[in-house]
Chains A and B, each alone.
Chain A
Amino acid sequence: MSLWEKLERIDRRVLYGLLWIVVLPVLYYPINLPIVISDLTTEYYNQIEAIPAGSVVVLAFDLGPAGWPELGGMCYASMQHLFTRISETRPNPIKVVMLTYWATGAALIPNCFNEVYGPMDKMGAVYGEDWVNLGYIAGGEVGMSNFAADVWAAKPTDYQGWLVNDATKLPMMQNVRTIQDVYMLISIESGTPGYEEYLRQWWTRKTTLRILVGALGVSIPGVEPYRPTRVQSYLPGGAGASQYISLVGKKVPAVLPGQMGKKAVGVNDALSTSHILVIIFVALGNIGYFLRPRRK
């Protein structure tokens, strides 16, 4: 048996072990490769920077724990960025409505803002006046259609059971009745329902709705065809998350936890080593395939 045939028959557990070996040490001792910001990330950032004062922005956490490692950074950074915009646009601040069509996303929203801020009023954003968390809306695409037609009817309460028609507790929701009142949708999503359903149910009702997407790597091929006419920009997976974290970190360094910056660098380096390993695997496999003696 030739060397290439032996290599081809290598136990798959050796390959698994190699992946552990190239990822774990680099996370602990990052190489600190520079992060190059892509134009997609820059456009995403600029779109949020350009939100006019007084506009309503919907931040949708349509993801589950499976997507959190790749999309979590986007959630933190988007939330931070929006709350910075709330401060900047006073006395007529932008309003942020958080919601999700995934039950798993509903638990991730409080995790996100608890980890980033602790008490939410730290940045001067008051719950009910500047931002609201509506929580989980059931029904998938049907729920999206309901929300676009009549927000109060689709979700009568926020995540903790407060009524949306209660002007004393949730004053900002008194002016959010249909999709016509929403300026921008930022959807950080890991599957269906997602941007396609939003396009069908929200964009068709308001064709001037701006849409930004935080997409998994696997979703990039599906989102790219809609850019830039329907989806203004998107964050391309984990790489985009790291880039966006570094952009937001430059704007609000005092607020962005240092840990998140370190995590972003570690992820980048581990991504690099793991990708190089896969490329080596592909190359070795093909070289062995072409070089091994053919059986007549």
Chain B
Amino acid sequence: MTMIPEEFVLAAGAWVSVFLTLAVYSFLYKENPIFRFAEHSFIAAGVGYWIAYNVWYCYDLAIGVPGGESGIQAGQWWWIFAFLFGIIYYFVLTRKYFWIYRYSLAIIVGVGAGLTLRTIVQAQILSLILATFLNLSPTDTAGNLIIFNPASPAGASLINNLLIVVLVFGSVIYFFFTSEAGVIKNIGRIGRVALMTAFGAAYGNTIMTRMNLFIGRAQDLLGISGPSPPDQQIAFVVIGITMLIVLFGYSYLKKKPPEEAPAPEPAPKTEAKRPRRKETST
């Protein structure tokens, strides 16, 4: 790699990344072979990339680096069992020995379940419940009750804290007693208000995320960020125009021929009726 000039490496990278970016965006026009190429590249890259990092992690942990305290080289022979359980997991790909892999999976699921169960109450449930028990009479430095503070609309105030308590309570009731009638159902309706607002806010934030992602790619295409801005800009123009021509051409070639007059419907099949047996007198 040191023999290849760095400018060439950066330029090649710029052209490749711009091509792949535009190849994915070509899907916006319509499904086409260029997008399918990018799609398969994405699957391959996503799968292939993680393998190397995990191989090195396994090596450092189980085999170990000389001088370290971990792994078989440090005398921890029991890592052979870890290798064994890792290998038997691969039997998930077979049909005849599928049952072997379940033992490896069982340990993974057991550890996952144990780790989650032992801490979720403290970390998630209790934390959130305790945080909901808010002071319903917040006061300012002079000791006056804050009913609502326009200078800090989202800050601690009677209205805000009461709303939080009521809406959290209502949301939980909505989840747990959805089918009840009467008072419980009405409390659940209040929870629905909170949930609809939450989903609306989540939608607004999702828009921000997706637009940011697109803006980031657009910056790369325009050469505002990236390894080699001039190459990115040239690549954007050249590849963009070429791709548009190819897509329009592909679309034109794939167009259906003009519709012909519909073929006459075939005559309906009629089953030959079986001759009725003449009744014979016996």
Question: Which chain A residues have a beta carbon within 8 Å of chain B's beta carbons?
Answer: 13, 16, 19, 23-24, 27-28, 66, 68-70, 72, 103-104, 106, 136-138, 141-142, 145, 152-153, 155-157, 161, 163, 165-166, 196, 199-201, 203-204, 216-218, 220-221, 225-226, 229-230, 236-239, 259, 262-263, 266-267, 270-271, 274-275, 278
Confirm or deny: B225 has a beta carbon within 8 angstroms of a beta carbon on chain A.
yes
The answer to whether B119 touches A156, judged by C-beta atoms less than 8 angstroms apart, is no
A103 to B47, CA, bound (A): 11
Given A103-B54, A165-B69, A230-B127, output 14 extra A-B contacts at Cβ < 8 Å.
Answer: A13-B28, A72-B216, A136-B53, A153-B70, A161-B60, A163-B68, A199-B124, A201-B119, A218-B202, A220-B202, A220-B205, A221-B198, A225-B128, A237-B205
A220 to B208, CA, bound (A): 11
The answer to whether A217 touches B206, judged by C-beta atoms less than 8 angstroms apart, is yes
CB contact under 8 A between A259 and B124, given known A200-B119, A221-B198: no
Confirm or deny: B111 has a beta carbon within 8 angstroms of a beta carbon on chain A.
yes
Name the CB-closest residue of A to B223: A28
The answer to whether A229 touches B130, judged by C-beta atoms less than 8 angstroms apart, is yes
Which label, helix, strand, loop or mixed, suits the secondary structure of the A interface? Answer: helix
A72 to B212, CA, bound (A): 11
How many A-B residue pairs have C-beta atoms within 8 angstroms? Tell me: 159
Residues of chain B within 8 A of A145, CB atoms compared? 115
Taking a contact as CB atoms closer than 8 A, the residue among A156, A218, A262, A274 that contacts B224 in the complex is A262
CB contact under 8 A between A13 and B29, given known A199-B124, A221-B198: yes
A83 to B54, CA, bound (A): 29
The answer to whether A229 touches B224, judged by C-beta atoms less than 8 angstroms apart, is no
The answer to whether A16 touches B65, judged by C-beta atoms less than 8 angstroms apart, is no
The answer to whether B209 touches A70, judged by C-beta atoms less than 8 angstroms apart, is yes
CB contact under 8 A between A137 and B206, given known A24-B218, A275-B211: no
Name the CB-closest residue of B to A271: B211
Residues of chain B within 8 A of A152, CB atoms compared? 69-70
The answer to whether A237 touches B212, judged by C-beta atoms less than 8 angstroms apart, is yes
Name the CB-closest residue of A to B152: A39
Q: How far is the CB of A196 from chain B (nearest CB, A)?
A: 7
